[in-house]
């Protein structure tokens, strides 16, 4: 019998289980895509210095070392001399935990102790150039002044991990290493529990980006969640700075984070970017969805707006619609808790003399009219109601929002829904619903909606219409002069909403 020998040498760093959705290991292929963004002559210079400020597996450092070993072959022909120079003078890391410091050193030096005989290069200390220093939070008003960690959650005994990451727990990051870095690159921790209800968490990835920029490297490349596109929870100032920063020359966006990190569900998707200190200009935006990539060079902000359009194919549509200078649909959408009624309110099953119908989750019912504390004038009018949250995953086309429905006079709703209106006649509400069910409407919601949250803000880009008449996609496409390619894009992204869809 003939036997066939198969050479199979898997990269162990492709096989690592991730620590959590907060601390995600980066696959080697993504690391190399990020390194490809850098001028490759950096890897042929014996003077280029690299820092990973949030080292976990050490994969960034390893892949940098491989490129330098190749790039410096002619300048430093002796292999051991070349290894010693690269590892001691060019590559540096700050580990996020003691465990990841050992893993990173094992990955880079082939030994978790770089002063041992098993290390590919010999250091005097067991730390090498990958440091981990136990750092403490600095508490003020029960929160850390550096990262915002909640004292109740993170003021732990010394044997437990405090997640006080060294790189972001200093006002002057230059003090960490008394040297200048040409390239800062990595994948920082994403968030920390903030002590809120349920799984409430505070983003911290932006703190690593901001701290790295303080060091003014020639190049900065980081992979982070894409939720910052819409701002929110501590990210508004970061969003403003990033979208106005002409040093961001490349942005690779994955609408579905699993297309980048297999098996990891990161709400809002993932992106990585290249920040080029000395070369300002337009940004190359690489939009990835359904395993397809569309590349376009443009400004991150649309002209005279604070708007970032995530999908390159939608830019021309957005510009055509914006040229009409119409008011926003957001002006007729209520804020959270339109009637001041929370989801945990006690609901009656039967109507009484002083009660009104309430639309609520998981079951509609009746409440005393005195429970309504806001929008009381909307009770006896016609209105449209829409769920405040609607989640989807996987490939397009999406529905984007739940099914809108009419709230008749003498009804209200809990905070599960938003209120649109109110109006004096039912026909007006029916016409609004025809618009909301259109693919056109829901595409413009999608441009703002990066997570399942569908609060008032996601309707910012939707243009207002005359609701004395019903609307169809064909009518909207014609009104705004959309071409066949633009229509095809909308219909590839948004699926029809029929009467069977749940509200």
How does pLDDT run along the chain (503 residues), one tens digit per residue? 333 444 444 555 554 545 554 568 899 999 999 999 999 999 999 999 999 999 999 999 999 999 999 999 999 999 999 999 999 999 999 999 999 999 999 999 999 999 999 999 999 999 999 999 989 999 999 989 999 888 888 887 776 777 899 999 998 888 888 889 999 999 999 988 765 554 567 899 999 999 999 999 999 999 999 999 988 778 999 999 999 999 999 999 999 888 888 888 888 899 999 999 999 999 999 999 888 899 999 999 998 888 899 999 999 999 999 999 999 999 999 999 999 999 999 999 999 989 999 999 999 999 999 999 999 999 999 999 999 999 888 789 999 999 999 999 999 999 999 999 999 999 999 999 999 999 999 999 999 998 888 999 999 999 999 999 999 999 999 999 999 999 999 999 999 998 655 66
Q: Looking at the DSSP assignment, which residues form a beta bridge with residue 382?
A: 423
Does the domain at 329-493 match CATH 3.90.220? Answer given as yes
Residues 62-93: b if buried by 16+ CB within 10 A, e if exposed: bbbbebbbebbeeebeeeeebbbbbbeebbbb
CB atoms within 10 A of CB 23: 18
Give me the torsion for CA of 138, 143, 145, 148, rounded to 10°: 120
User: How far apart (Å, rounded) are the C-alpha atoms in residues 47 and 108?
Assistant: 19
Is the CB of residue 378 less than 8 Å from the CB of residue 443? no
User: How far apart (Å, rounded) are the C-alpha atoms in residues 263 and 18?
Assistant: 9
For residue 95 the two structure tokens come to 């580990």
For residue 324 the two structure tokens come to 């009409």
Is the CB of residue 381 less than 8 Å from the CB of residue 407? no
- Packed helices 205-214 and 236-243: angle between N→C axes, nearest 10 degrees: 50
- 12-310 CATH choice from 3.40.1350.10, 2.30.30.830, 3.40.50.150, 3.50.50.60: 3.40.50.150
User: How far apart (Å, rounded) are the C-alpha atoms in residues 49 and 71?
Assistant: 14
Residue carrying the six token digits 């490297």: 217
- Give pTM, 2 decimals: 0.89
Strand ordering across the sheet containing 382-387: 405-407, 382-387, 417-423
Q: Tell me if 12-310 shares its fold with 329-493.
A: no
CB atoms within 10 A of CB 317: 24
What residue ranges do the domains of the chain occupy? 12-310, 329-493
């Amino acid at each position: 019998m003939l036997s066939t020998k198969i050479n199979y040498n898997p990269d162990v760093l492709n096989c690592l289980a991730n620590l959590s959705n907060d601390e995600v290991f980066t696959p080697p292929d993504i690391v190399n895509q990020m390194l490809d963004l850098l001028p490759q002559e950096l890897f042929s210079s014996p003077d280029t210095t690299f820092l990973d400020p949030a080292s976990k597996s050490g994969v960034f450092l390893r892949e940098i070392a491989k490129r330098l070993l190749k790039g410096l072959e002619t300048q430093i022909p002796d292999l051991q001399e070349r290894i010693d120079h690269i590892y001691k003078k060019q590559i540096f890391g700050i580990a996020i935990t003691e465990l990841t410091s050992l893993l990173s050193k094992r990955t880079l030096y082939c030994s978790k102790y770089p002063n041992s005989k098993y290390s590919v290069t010999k250091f005097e200390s067991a730390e090498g150039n990958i440091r981990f220093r136990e750092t403490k939070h600095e508490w003020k008003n029960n929160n850390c002044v550096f990262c915002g960690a909640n004292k109740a959650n993170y003021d732990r005994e010394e044997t437990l991990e405090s997640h006080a990451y060294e790189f972001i727990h200093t006002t002057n990051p230059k003090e960490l290493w008394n040297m200048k870095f040409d390239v800062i690159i990595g994948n920082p921790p994403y968030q920390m529990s903030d002590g809120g209800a349920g799984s409430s968490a505070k983003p911290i990835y932006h703190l690593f980006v901001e701290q790295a920029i303080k060091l003014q490297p020639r190049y900065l490349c980081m992979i982070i969640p894409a939720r910052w596109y819409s701002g929110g929870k501590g990210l508004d100032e970061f969003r403003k700075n990033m979208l106005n920063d002409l040093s961001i020359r490349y942005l690779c966006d994955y609408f579905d984070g699993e297309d980048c990190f297999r098996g990891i569900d990161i709400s809002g998707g993932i992106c990585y970017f290249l920040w080029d200190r000395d070369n300002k200009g337009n940004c190359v935006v690489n939009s990835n969805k359904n395993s397809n990539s569309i590349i376009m060079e443009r400004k991150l902000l649309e002209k005279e707006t604070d708007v970032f359009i995530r999908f390159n194919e939608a830019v021309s549509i957005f510009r055509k619609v914006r040229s009409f200078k119409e008011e926003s649909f957001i002006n007729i959408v209520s804020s959270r808790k339109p009637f001041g009624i929370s989801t945990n309110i006690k609901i009656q099953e039967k109507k009484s003399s002083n009660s009104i119908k309430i639309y609520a989750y998981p079951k509609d019912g009746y409440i005393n009219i005195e429970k309504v504390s806001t929008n009381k004038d909307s009770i006896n009018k016609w209105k449209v109601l829409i769920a405040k949250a609607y989640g989807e995953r996987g490939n397009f086309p999406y529905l984007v929002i739940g099914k809108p429905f009419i709230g008749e006079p003498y009804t209200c709703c809990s905070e599960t829904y938003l209120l649109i209106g109110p109006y004096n006649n039912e026909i007006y509400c029916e016409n609004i619903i025809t618009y909301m069910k259109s693919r056109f409407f829901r595409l413009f919601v999608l441009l703002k909606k990066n997570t399942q949250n569908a609060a008032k803000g996601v309707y910012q880009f939707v243009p207002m219409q005359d609701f004395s008449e019903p609307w169809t996609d064909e009518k909207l496409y014609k009104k705004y002069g959309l071409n066949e390619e633009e229509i095809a894009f909308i219909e590839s992204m948004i699926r029809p909403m029929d009467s069977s869809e749940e509200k």
